[in-house]
Amino acid sequence: MRLVSWNVNGLRACLGKGFLDFCAFANADIICLQETKMRPEQASFDLPGYSRYWNCADKAGYSGTAIFTRREPLSVTYDFGKDFHRHEGRVITAEFPDFYLVCCYTPNSKDQLARLPYRMEWEDDIRDYLLDLDLQKPVVYCGDLNVAHQEIDIKNPKTNRMNPGFSDEERAKMTQLLESGFVDTFRYLYPEKTGAYSWWSYRFHARQNNAGWRIDYFLVSQRLKDRIRGADIWSEVMGSDHCPVVLELED
């Protein structure tokens, strides 16, 4: 089973940059998207064989997630937890026979870490949500999680420390999540691999120079790790400031 996750930074724009060609190339069983920035009626496109599930923010043109899947889920739910987590279209949970798939676009802490207090509450609540799901069946958690976990996951760790996405607090929450029973699939297979990034600023020729951050992930419950057959970052795929990340799971 191949799963792909991609922050498309506006799906309507990405459709004009080869998104459907990418889908044909990827040949994925499940495609998870973040930052769709649209409602489904705002774009018409042909993606035969896939059922589509959308979670849109209350605010037009902001945030948003989607799951396109060839495998029909048993159930699909939107958002989680408290009401104040339920207005930005950030989470979709699809239940399959042997796992839950959670597609997530984690809130950014913003400049000067202005939204860090909310981000910390989000992290605690999403972890509790994932652990509740994990009591029922294993979890695959993917998306733009808006944190570079370790120094190896960012090109310039020293100069970026305490910037949003690389604050000590955000990194500690990722550590806490992993220690609660989850596996970072890419690092599980490639613990020492450097230069592996999934997001680059549009400024300063960052992508050309591979001055990036690894902030897009597939995490899985510990008991799924023996089913991991591959994890990749498709940095050659253009169309967004992020690139797709991939997980291959044994059926």
CA 37 from centre of chain: 15
CA count, 13 A, side-chain hemisphere, 229: 8
Provide the edge-to-edge strand list for the sheet that holds 139-144.
75-78, 91-96, 99-105, 139-144, 216-221, 182-184
Q: Which amino acids are annotated catalytic?
A: 105, 144
Buried b (16+ CB within 10 A) or exposed e, 13-41: ebbeeebeebbeebebbbbbbbbbbbeee
| Contact call for residues 242 and 198 (beta carbons, < 8 A) | yes
Give the number of residues written for the chain.
251
How is residue 23 annotated by DSSP?
H
CA distance 44 to 93: 24
| Contact call for residues 149 and 189 (beta carbons, < 8 A) | no
> 140 - beta bridge partners?
101, 220
| Contact call for residues 190 and 231 (beta carbons, < 8 A) | yes
